[in-house]
Amino acid sequence: MKFEEWLSQQNCVIEVDCGCVTTEAFYHWMRVAYEAGNSPVIPDGYVMVPMRLTAENGAKGALSGEFSETKFVNCPECFGDDECETCDGSGRIEITVPVTWTTIKAIWAKGVEHFTATPREVKGE
């Protein structure tokens, strides 16, 4: 995005009445900084997210109970010893259990670690 395009999208008035710099000089240096890449850029397809999930940032409430996994356990009716309607004689039943908050946080941390931007050298003009 060009500087002029970015500037036209700003919703607030940029005041330059300190008397120490002209408006033209101020905009010149804003343009230089902007075009040099000294502004946060989020590539298409990415979003800014917190590094850690916490109750304070709302993640615990949003994600707790959202994920589950299937496990097999010994049948509580027959323990695998005889014919059973619950397990059809297999001795095991399938249950669904929620993924723990600790596990959700660990998965998130690993994902953030994988996608964390590596520092890059910024080349000047």
**Tokens coding 54:** 């916490």
**Tokens coding 40:** 């946060």
The reported pLDDT for the residue numbered 35 is 73
Give the largest CA-CA distance in the chain.
92
The reported pLDDT for the residue numbered 125 is 47
First-to-last C-alpha distance (Å) of the chain: 17
The reported pLDDT for the residue numbered 24 is 73
Give me the chain's average pLDDT, please: 79
What's this model's pTM, rounded to 2 decimal places?
A: 0.54
**Cα pseudo-dihedral 106, 112, 114, 118, rounded to 10:** -140
Give the residue-averaged pLDDT of 50-57: 90
The reported pLDDT for the residue numbered 71 is 95
Please write the tens of the pLDDT for every residue from 65-109: 999 999 999 998 887 777 888 888 888 999 999 999 999 999 999
Q: How far apart are CA 48 and CA 11, in angstroms?
A: 21
Report, in this order, helix, strand and coil percent for the chain, each rounded to 5. 30, 10, 60
